[in-house]
Structures are given as C-alpha cells and as structure tokens.
Amino acid sequence: MKAMYPGSFDPITIGHLDIIERASKLYDEVVVAINENVAKKATFSASERKVLIEKCVAKFKNVRVVIGKGLTVDVAKKEGCGVLVRGIRAIADYEYELALATTNMKLEKDIETVFLVAKPEFSFLSSSIAKEVAHYGGDIKALIPEMIIDEVKKRLS
C-alpha cells in the first residue's frame, strides 16, 4: 500500500524525518508531498524544499518527494495513495489534525488518515521553532537533518 505524508516542510526537521522513516517501514511506498500553506509565507520555495527533502530521504528506497497542488486528498488520489500519514506532537496537533482528517473523509471516503505520535524528543519541534533558532544564530544540529544544516543556516542567518 502507498501512503502520502503531506506537509509544508519549510524546512524539514528531524521530527519530520523520523515520521518518514517510521512510515517507510509500514508502507510499500511513501510519497512526501510538499503542499503550499496559504496561511504562511514560505522561507524556501517548493522546489528548494523538494531538493532539501530529497537529500534527507535518499537513504530510503521506498520514499519519493513530490510538489502537491490543490487539495491533499486530490494529490493523494493522483499519486495512488490510500493513506495519509500525519504526525501528532501534542493535544493541540490532535485537535487540528482531527478536523483535517474528518474533512478529508468527507472529501474522499477511500483515503484513510493514520496518526503517528511524535517521539518524546521531537514533541516540541516544528519548522517555525527551527527557523527562529537559526535566525538568531542558535545551534540547530538537534533540530534539522545534518545534511541540510548549511543551507538552512545560510538562508536564515
């Protein structure tokens, strides 16, 4: 079965990468779908994020990266994915993700949403936090995958 892990990934964090790795063990193929979040101004373009993510997931043979356009369920259908994988860090995430999952069920009944709970060491982590730490010159080694730290620092410092 194919699964899709959608998100803005601006930039990808080690928490995102952990969810991708865990999903890659559960599904035959994982499609990481970069979606534009109209509520946020992106630091990296979608094509830049795709390159960064591809560097991070190169070791996973069953993971590929796409740039999604439109509704998540439409992208999942187009990619042949029957499952949406979402990470949950805290109660606030659950409430938001539940609303999204329920909406997606109404839009496309044949696509399921599966929640993977963040490991405790990643439960605080978001792209926004990583960007803020990088912007102020803080150490992001525990936040961002090692292979893209230089690119993130360069853009945000």
* H/E element, 22: helix 14-26
Selecting among 8, 16, 49, 131, the annotated active-site residue is: 16
In a domain, 153, yes or no: no
Note if 45 is an active site residue: no
Q: Which one from 8, 49, 127, 131 is the annotated catalytic residue?
A: 127
Q: Is residue 154 part of a domain?
A: no
In a domain? residue 20: yes
Q: Which contiguous run of DSSP H or E holds residue 16?
A: helix 14-26
The single-letter code of the amino acid at 139 is D
Count of structural domains within the chain: 1
Residue 140's pLDDT is what? 96
Would you call 16 a catalytic residue per the annotation? yes
The answer to whether residue 136 is domain-embedded is yes
Q: CATH no. for residue 121?
A: 3.40.50.620
Question: 80 in a domain, yes or no?
Answer: yes
pLDDT of res. 19: 98
Structural domain span for residue 93: 2-148
The single-letter DSSP state of residue 56 is: H
Distance, CA of 55 to CA of 9 (rounded, Å): 13
Instruction: Give a yes or no: residue 23 inside a domain.
Output: yes
Distance CA(30)–CA(81), nearest Å, equals 8
Is residue 81 in a domain?
Answer: yes
My answer on whether omega of the bond before 6 falls inside 30° of 0, hence cis, is no
Active-site annotation holds for 157: no
Could you give the CA distance from residue 142 to residue 136 in angstroms, rounded to a whole number? 15
Catalytic residue among 49, 86, 89, 131: 89
Is 135 among the catalytic positions? Answer: no
For residue 103, being part of any structural domain is answered with yes
Supply the angle between the helices 91-107 and 72-79 in degrees, to the nearest 10: 60
| Positions of the chain with pLDDT under 70 | 37
